[in-house]
Structure 1
Amino acid sequence: MNGKLHSETGAFSSDDMRAEILNPFVHKLELDNTYDKIKTAIFTVILLPFRVIVICYLIVTAWFLACIGLYGLSEEDLRRKPMTGWRRALKPLICCIGKLSYLAGGMAITVRGRQASRKEAPILVVAPHSSFLDSCIVYATRMSSVIVRKESMDNYVGKLINYTQPVYVWRDDPNSRQNTIKEIIERATSKEDWPQVLIFPEGTCTNRSCLITFKPGGFYPGVPVQPVTIRYPNARDTVTWTWEGPGALKLLWLTLTQVHSSCEIEFLPVYYPSEEEKRDPKLYARNVRDVMAKALGVPVLDYTYDDCRLIARAKHLGIPAAASAREVSELRSQLGLERSQLELHVAAGGVGSARGGAARWVGAEEFCTRLGLPLDHRAQRLFDIFVQRSSGLVYFPDYLLCAAFLSLQHAPLTQLLSYAFKLYETRGPGGRSRGITAAQFEEVATRCLALCQEDAHNTFRQADLDEKGTLTYDEFISYAQKKPEFAFIFTCDTSHHKPKTQ
């Protein structure tokens, strides 16, 4: 695989392969049959303890060697000049031990192609990023320098990461992005023999169904880069770690109880940027992504880390279909709903707030009729995201709340709550609002405030001061303003806030 790539090779469009909208932030993994459950249980008893002991021994050994190699060096020394002499000579040994720790866990690492020298390509661009197990690339690339958050260094493996002479990112530094780019440029263009800089340009984990937007930071130096792909060609995917799916411990447990698993790392030919790409890092990043997507046989989608934050916020608040929020947003845009914001007017028109179970549960045709859409494949996909498998119907208020959340995502949560109250409220003579009942408030609170049913019930009782059995939006807001646990309602960004229990 020794060769050159230029922008003239042509871009790989997502339209070439994309049959439907993908959600790269969801991964489902369950032991769905008795055989798998029994096999996992047996290997948990007879195989897992042995593997854990061996892996821990190897990691401690590598950590000890890293401590020796770093002895007498300060953090400033690591940032000022590359390691030389006996300290650098320890790297191949640490890499060997690192690979053995993966082999001890049952994972064989296969390397294809040739890693370019630093002179040929100062930067290695690695994708897709889908797992904490992707750290094997550090050992496969002879401990290239990684990009790492400084706060991540305050742990047991910090010594091993420090040994790569990483580029640090300080989350609390308002100039962090500019400083990181500056240091990457200095490393990539330095005449000293620094390790290659290793970058995961996606910036977050996906399920490998596509390549999402590449951040341009690693492309600012305008130097040649070597694309590197990672695959996990296993019958059962026990490694993918996304925003919606199994946690790290479950994935590690299931991976270590597999008889065998594989990781394939492929070094693609060095990509040499054109003059236009040197001037435009975003163009450079897009074109490298196209080349890597073509090698992987997957589409490219313009999803970003901000989409992950959107999904995380939706999950925190309990928004229906939170994991598919990005997909819902794109479908609404394609169907013209995003521009018209039709859903924000639905409650006022009575479509979503009709009383009775039959009016709220709708089939595909009624779903499209209410939104003024033809029943095509995009509308059907939007319906399928919210459908209840047991009945084949959609609970229409769930869709309306998700759509309203997307339309009002940059506004204070009070606006979404106001919409939700209108969606559920009953009105008396003259259109005067009578508020919502306890059961209706529980629906609103579990879907917009991440309250459990019991907490929602208690909140309603405390806010219903007159004990009339209904609660208006103004009455709830008046109550919430006096409670510190609801302070997040009145801020514009609730992505990092969860309500406390009552």
Structure 2
Amino acid sequence: MNGKLHSETGAFSSDGMRAEILNPFVHKLELDNTYDKIKTAIFTVILLPFRVIVICYLIVTAWFLACIGLYGLSEEDLRRKPMTGWRRSLKPIICFIGKLSYLAGGMAITVRGRQASREEAPILVIAPHSSFLDSCIVYATKMSSVIVRKESMDNYVGKLINYTQPVYVWRDDPNSRQNTIKEIIERATSKEDWPQVLIFPEGTCTNRSCLITFKPGGFYPGVPVQPVIIRYPNSMDTVTWTWEGPGALKLLWLTLTQVHSSCEIEFLPVYYPNQEEKNDPKLYARNVRDVMAKALGVPVLDYTYDDCRLIARAKQLGIPGAAAAREVSELRAQLGVPQSQLELQTRCVAAGDWVTREQFVQRLGVPIMTTASIQAERLFQIFEQRGTGMARWSDYMLCAAFLSLQHAPLHHLICIAFKLYDSGFSRLNQASFEELATKCLGMCQEDAHHLFRQIDSDEKGCITYDEFMSYAQKRPELSFIFASDATQQKSKSQ
């Protein structure tokens, strides 16, 4: 297959051409040397407390001004017409205080280009979205209207968000998506002087190695948009917040203990859609993404928010290779591995679980020294145990089974897992069951041990799949094993 290389690492391009796969949902951040560790420790003591105090003071001040500006206005008032008069005149002050809060944290915000007026571009398209610190764009764009879940407004920051007159997303509303698009269209095409609508079309955070699929919601109005790109050109990336990587508190701590950080915001020229793009929001979104990717010098990948959910689900269950689940799916599809081989490949564990690179490729049925063998070797790298040159075939097969059965109730995956970890005679001993429970039930070692003891009440030292399922059907805490994918998603949203 001919490839089209977009960068040194390569990626899938929007036209389906292939180079090496990127994973935009992973970010590695460690203090590798003694100097960084000592510096961070010292600044944690002498710099962090001062910065936190100043930032809190500035945020409280901005919040207080927002409370004054919102006094006497209901949410219905905010949605009915744009602010005017003295309420609107408070926005520049709040924006100034917001920028000061970033500066107090050691982050300087540099703005390049010119922000278009609402008449030129009613919608601002922001990418890449990689951090909670991207909220600085609200201050840099004079408090443009953000799109926000109504449920996330129930906190003190909600006052500041409300002051942007946001477009609300009601998660409990089954027609939420359609209603959100409708309101975006109304705002963008209104003759009234509304703030510009600010959207992050990627819909989730990535590591900025590429631009993933843009959601078309902000492109339905068919009006001109202004692309805005964000960069963090720092020697240590302490801001990127992805599905696999440091948590928000660790990132905030490391950012606030840097002597200096910087954020660059660049306003690109307004993008005017042609008639074809006006008629096809997805095409419009793709073309705007291409323009922004070119300006950033990164590839585009057809990854979506659903891929994030897939990775999150895999991590929650403890599936091996969870962070690379999307990549595993891509590689298996390119290798043309049929689902019928799943059962056959599962049996390969009996021939030995630990395999070398060559054995792994051979079990996949891929000829050596071919294009397909390169993809097979990449699969091996994902599951390779560091420093050993070996991978566990059962880890790969469990991930493959998860991908094949991702929309089926979990007990189908458990059935395959029992075969993978079978210690003989279609049953699992304690060690094998504990491994299964930690790798596809999301349990810790202690809970897995306790569960095995509960099922193996007669102390045979092993359990069968039927014994496990019989026990699970009686336990409410294990009911998720029998839930369909739709039921699982519904329970998560509640």
Please indicate the TM-score interval, normalised by the length of the shorter structure: over 0.9
Contact 1:122 1:197 in 2 (8 A): yes
Which string of whole-angstrom CA distances, capped at 9 and with x for unpartnered residues, describes residues 213-253 of structure 1? 10000000000000000000000000000011111011000
Please tell me the residue identity of whatever aligns with 1:174. P
- Cα deviation, 1:345-368, whole Å, max 9, x if unaligned, reads 322xx31233xxxx2111110001
- Is 1:366 aligned with 2:359? yes
For the residues of structure 2 that align with 1:103 and 1:48, how far apart are their CA atoms?
13
Q: Which amino acid aligns with 2:343?
A: L
Residue 396 of structure 2 aligns to a residue whose secondary structure is: helix
C-alpha contact (below 8 Å) 1:342/1:371 kept by paired residues: no
- Structure 2 distance, partners of 1:122, 1:460, is 59
The within-5 A match list for 1:283-432 is 283-337=283-337, 339-347=338-346, 350-354=347-351, 359-375=352-368, 376-426=373-423
- For 1:188 and 1:107, how far apart are their aligned partners in 2? 32
The 8 Å contact of residues 224 and 271 in structure 1, kept in 2 or not, is answered as yes
What code does the residue aligned with 2:399 have? C
Equivalent residue number for residue 34 of structure 2: 34
Which residue of structure 1 lines up, in the alignment, with residue 3 of structure 2? none
Q: Deviations over 1:143-165 (max 9, x none)?
A: 00000000111101111100000
**Partner SS, residue 271 of structure 1:** coil
CA distance in 2, matches of 1:116, 1:321: 44
Asked whether 1:244 is paired with 2:244, we answer: yes
In structure 2, distance between residues paired with 1:274 and 1:496: 39
Instruction: Provide, for residues 192-225 of structure 1, a one-character-per-residue CA deviation record: whole Å limited to 9, x for no partner.
Output: 0000000000000000000001000000000000
Aligned-partner Cα distance in 1 for 2:14–2:378: 19
Shift of 1:86: 1.0
2:463 is the counterpart of 1:464: no
Sort the Cα spacing of 1:286 and 1:140 in 2 relative to 1 into closer, same or farther, 3 A: same
1:154 maps to 154
Between the aligned partners of 1:17 and 1:242, the Cα distance in structure 2 is 25
Q: What amino acid is aligned across from residue 258 of structure 2 in structure 1? A: Q
Alpha-carbon separation, structure 2, partners of 1:388 and 1:329:
20
Residues 209, 496 of structure 1: alpha-carbon distance in 2 compared, 3 angstrom cutoff: farther
1:408-448 residue CA offsets vs partner (Å, 9 max, x unmatched): 10111010011111222255xxxxx4412111111111111
Paired with 2:297 and 2:218, the residues of 1 have a C-alpha distance of 23
How far apart are residue 19 of structure 1 and its match? 3.9
- For residue 454 of structure 1, the aligned residue among 443, 446, 461 is 446
The 1:18/1:100 distance shift into structure 2, 3 A limit, reads farther
Which runs of 5 or more structure 1 residues have no equivalent in the other structure? 1-11, 428-432
How many pairs does the alignment contain?
475
Check the 8 A contact 1:313/1:496 in 2, yes or no. Answer: no
Question: 1:261-276, aligned counterparts within 5 Å?
Answer: 261-276=261-276
Q: Tell me: CA distance 1:152–1:497, structure 2 relative to 1, closer, same or farther (3 Å).
A: closer
Query: Does structure 2 retain, via aligned residues, the 8 Å contact 1:127–1:202?
Result: yes
Superposition deviation, residue 467 in structure 1: 2.9
Aligned position for 2:48: 48
Give the direction of change, closer, same or farther, for the CA distance of 1:156–1:97 in structure 2 (3 Å limit): same
Deviations 1:131-189 (A, max 9, x none): 00000000000000000000111101111100000000111111110110000000000
1:234 aligns with 2:234: yes
Is 2:423–2:432's contact at 8 Å kept on the other side of the alignment?
Answer: no
Q: TM-score, normalised by structure 2?
A: 0.93
Q: 1:489 — aligned with what?
A: 481
Q: Distance in 1 between matches of 2:419 and 2:489?
A: 24
Amino acid across the alignment from 1:35: Y
- Cα separation, 1, equivalents of 2:435 and 2:44: 41
Structure 2: which amino acid aligns with 1:467?
E
Which residue does the alignment assign to 2:24? 24
C-alpha distance in structure 2 between counterparts of 1:465 and 1:53, whole Å: 56
Percent identical: 81
Q: What's the secondary structure of 2:350's corresponding residue?
A: coil
- 2:51–2:256 contact (8 Å) kept in structure 1: yes
Counterpart amino acid of 2:173? D
The question of whether the paired residues in 2 share the 8 Å contact of 1:124 and 1:228 is answered with: yes
Distance in 2 (CA, whole Å) between partners of 1:82 and 1:305 is 31
Distance 1:497 1:76 in 2: 30
Q: Assess if the C-alpha contact under 8 Å between 1:112 and 1:265 holds in 2.
A: yes
The CA RMSD over aligned residues, in Å, is 1.7
Q: Is the 8 A contact 1:188 1:197 kept in 2?
A: yes
Would the alpha carbon gap of residues 306 and 157 (structure 1) be closer, same or farther in structure 2, given more than 3 Å must change?
A: same
- Paired with 1:309 and 1:402, the residues of 2 have a C-alpha distance of 15
Q: How far apart are residue 453 of structure 1 and its match?
A: 1.8
In 1, the alpha carbon distance for the partners of 2:339 and 2:244 equals: 30
Unaligned runs of 5+ in 2: 1-11
Q: 1:444 aligns with which of 436, 441, 447?
A: 436
Quote the residue 1:131 is aligned against: 131
Whole-angstrom distance in 1 between the partners of 2:62 and 2:136: 14
What is the Cα deviation at residue 495 of structure 1?
6.0
What secondary structure sits across from 1:270 in the alignment?
Answer: coil
Alignment partner, residue 4 of structure 1: none
Q: Is the 8 A contact 2:14 2:302 kept in 1?
A: no
Kept after mapping to 2: 8 A contact 1:129/1:202: yes
Distance in 2 (alpha carbons) for counterparts of 1:92 and 1:161: 15
What do the CA deviations read for 1:302-344 (whole angstroms, capped 9, x no partner)?
111101110111011110011111111111111112x345233
- Provide the secondary structure at the position in 2 that maps to 1:25: coil
Tell me the distance in 2 between the aligned counterparts of 1:351 and 1:484: 35
How does the TM-score come out when normalised to structure 1?
A: 0.92
The whole-number CA distance in structure 2 between the counterparts of 1:271 and 1:201 is 15
Conserved 8 A contact 1:312-1:495:
no
Alpha-carbon spacing, 1:16–1:324, altered in 2? closer, same or farther (3 Å): closer
**1:240-272 superposed Cα distances (whole Å, 9 cap, x missing partner):** 000111110110000000000100000001001
Q: Give the Cα–Cα distance (whole angstroms) in 2 for the partners of residues 68 and 451 of structure 1.
A: 48
8 Å Cα contact 1:16/1:299 also seen in 2:
no
Q: Do 1:311 and 1:323's aligned partners in 2 also have CA atoms closer than 8 Å?
A: yes
> Bigger CA drift: 387-396 or 138-147?
387-396
SS at match of 1:146: strand
- Counterpart among 461, 471, 475 of residue 479 in structure 1: 471
For the residue of structure 1 that corresponds to 2:349, the secondary structure is: coil
8 Å Cα contact 2:13-2:302 kept in structure 1:
no
Distance 1:13 1:308, change over 3 A: closer
